[in-house]
Structure 1
Amino acid sequence: MSDSYVVIGNPIGHSQSPFIHHQFAQQLSHDIEYSKLLAPTNSFKASVEDFVKKGGRGANVTIPFKEQALEICQVLSEEARAAGAVNTITVSKDGTLKGDNTDGYGLVTDLRLNFGTLQDKRVLILGAGGATRGCLLPLLKEEVRAIVVANRTESKAVAIVNEFNHKKLFSSNFDDLAKEPEFDVIINATAASLNNDIPAIPSEVIHVDIHCYDMVYGSKPTAFLEWCRAKGANKVVDGLGMLVHQAAKSYEIWRNKKPNASDVLLKLRSKLRETQ
């Protein structure tokens, strides 16, 4: 009987996780079943319990359930605690649920592959929501010089920075970014690109050498990345690699084998272009 895994969310129809994980399993000659599970917004815990009762081995968790997943796991990784959210649940033989967060790993891995080392870099993160919270600890572990969390409502950025209480973390509103020293990397962790919009940041932030990253992905560059290019940035990358690398880490946690994420990323990119 195949080991059973799911991705749980609402909505869930758009998820590329089944394609990714079946590619990993094929690479490693593993016999798994991986499907999508649409959970009602008011019964996430019951959906997980039912999945476990049916013999489920692990679950990826996506919007809007990552915070709820943290609450139902009996064991949490350092990354999950720091993120305040869980995107990977592992079901132990005794039924214990272990929660991990691989989003930050996926981001940092993709940044390094595309931009090189993050050591001693000044990093700007746009947005002060869960996506930002999930990547701060992994970014700090890369020995960056500084991270500025910027948000339209600065109080939200201040709250995250105060919570992490790290000497390399700073907060800002969007307007004041024009006064900051040059950044080496800018990461859009807002949902603006989902609406074909861009965060209202000063154009002075963008320069020819800055590396621009958008956590959102699609079959073509996001509005934010197109704007960065128009303002002179040479290096822009979307979040598809983050998706695949975080999935690879989840798979490794479950199966104790590391898949070739780069190969699957190429296949997924091709798949998205064909279906646009």
Structure 2
Amino acid sequence: MADRDQYVVIGNPIEHSKSPQIHSMFAEQTGEAIEYKKILCPLGDFSRVVREFFAAGGLGANVTVPFKLDAYALATTRSSRAEHARAANTLVNKGGLVLAENTDGLGLVTDIVRNLGFPVVDKSILIVGAGGATRGVLLPLAEERPKRIMVVNRTPDKAHELINSIKTETKGFPIVLSSGGLHDIVEDEFDLVVNATSSSLSGDAFPLSPSVLGRNALAYDMMYGKDKTSFSRWATAAKAYQISDGLGMLVEQAAESFFLWRGKRPETRAVMQALRTT
């Protein structure tokens, strides 16, 4: 495989990652000669691991938890999306210079709008959670021109900070921005409810009332797993009109990374179908 261009995904833990499988399918369908591996990176050692990989000829890396902030800090240049998120999930080796990109938001929007057929324009959106996952998708969602975005979090100050962070970029947009704690939603219904917390994978009960779901609402979990998450169970019990997990977002953000590296845009639906059956 020495003749193949080298790419990796770096994280800790990393064994669960589907990225090698996804990019192998992308490479096969586009005829690109690449090899894509996993790297389990020791905590506190991200910079050394990336620099050694790039020095050995590696061309690109995907970055997952807990290193997205480290990837942003390491980069020589950063895209506007990475700058806003202050985090990166994709690195490109450009002759020793390192470009940082954040494709999470593009992946989410593409999955919701194209794959699920749910246009975001003029919709009201509730995002639960104010961590790095929300930071990466907030501006791309706002750029779709919804009529409202509200971010809620157990710690309201973090939600306020995130909403304030996009006010300059969305100035002039016909959009209402708000934020608060989990109990600050009063008699509100939303067209799109996005779970951006990892608590749904731990089995913790989703902390909101089903009344937040509008009549034709999409309940979208940015997490995914073999079994239903607690958010999915909550949405099912609440009779949400449409429910989706984050597998489509995972594949679509990977497709954006692949396009950035190789200049070819892979077809994603077949890849998603293959992952659902494995």
Same fold at TM > 0.5? yes
Q: Indicate if the aligned counterparts of 1:128 and 1:149 stay in contact, CA closer than 8 A.
A: yes
Structure 1 position 50 matched with structure 2 position 38? no
1:51-90 residue pairs with structure 2 within 5 A? 51-90=53-92
- SS of the residue corresponding to residue 33 of structure 1 reads strand
Q: Partners of 1:201 and 1:148 in 2: how far apart?
A: 14
Match of 2:191 among 181, 184, 188: 184
Question: Contact between 1:174 and 1:202, CA under 8 Å: does it hold in 2?
Answer: no
1:137 CA displacement: 1.0
Q: How many angstroms apart in 2 are the aligned matches of 1:73 and 1:169? A: 31
Name the SS of the counterpart of 2:243 in structure 1.
Answer: strand
* Structure with the bigger percentage of helix: 1
Matched, 1:170 2:178: yes
Alignment pair present for 1:11 and 2:13: yes
Q: How many residue pairs were aligned?
A: 269
Cα contact 1:39–1:47 (8 A) shared by 2: yes
Q: Which residue in the other structure is 1:104 paired with?
A: 105
> What is the one-letter code of the residue matched to 1:249?
E
The residue type equivalent to 2:232 in the other structure is: L
Q: Return the match for 1:118 from 114, 117, 120.
A: 120
Counterpart of 1:239 in structure 2 is 246
Cα displacement (A) at 1:219 = 1.9
Paired amino acid for 2:177: L
Correspondence for 2:148: 146
Could you tell me whether the CA contact under 8 Å between 2:26 and 2:266 is conserved in 1? yes
Q: Deviations over 1:77-127 (max 9, x none)?
A: 1110111100000001x2100000000011011111214211000000000
2:260 is aligned with what amino acid? Answer: I
1:38 aligns with 40
1:178 aligns to what SS in structure 2?
A: coil
Q: Kindly indicate whether the alpha-carbon contact (under 8 Å) linking 2:68 and 2:88 is maintained by their aligned counterparts in 1.
A: yes
Provide Cα deviations, 1:56-96, integer angstroms capped at 9, x if missing partner.
0000000000001001101101110111100000001x210
In the other structure, the counterpart of 2:26 is 24
CA distance in 2, matches of 1:102, 1:41: 23
Measured against aligned partners, the alpha-carbon deviations of 1:154-190 in whole angstroms (never above 9, x if no partner) come to 111111112222463210211121333x210000001
Identity of aligned residues (%): 45
Q: Partners of 1:18 and 1:155 in 2: how far apart? A: 37
Q: SS of 1:124's equivalent?
A: strand
Q: What corresponds to 1:213 in structure 2? A: 220
Measured in 2, the distance between the counterparts of 1:161 and 1:196 equals 28
Q: Distance in 2 between matches of 1:152 and 1:199?
A: 12
One-letter amino acid of the counterpart of residue 142, structure 1 = E
Per-residue CA deviations over 1:200-234 (Å, capped at 9, x if unaligned) read 11232134421100011112322111111111212
Report the TM-score, using the length of structure 2 for normalisation.
0.94
CA distance in 1, matches of 2:7, 2:101: 15
Q: CA RMSD in A?
A: 1.2
Q: Is the 8 A contact 1:20 1:264 kept in 2?
A: yes
- Give the 3-state SS of the residue equivalent to 1:12 in structure 2: coil
Could you say which residue in structure 2 is the equivalent of 1:200? 207
Long gaps (5+) in structure 2: none
The answer (yes or no) to whether the contact 1:73–1:97 under 8 Å persists in 2 is yes
Distance in structure 2 (CA, Å) of the matches to 1:9 and 1:175: 34
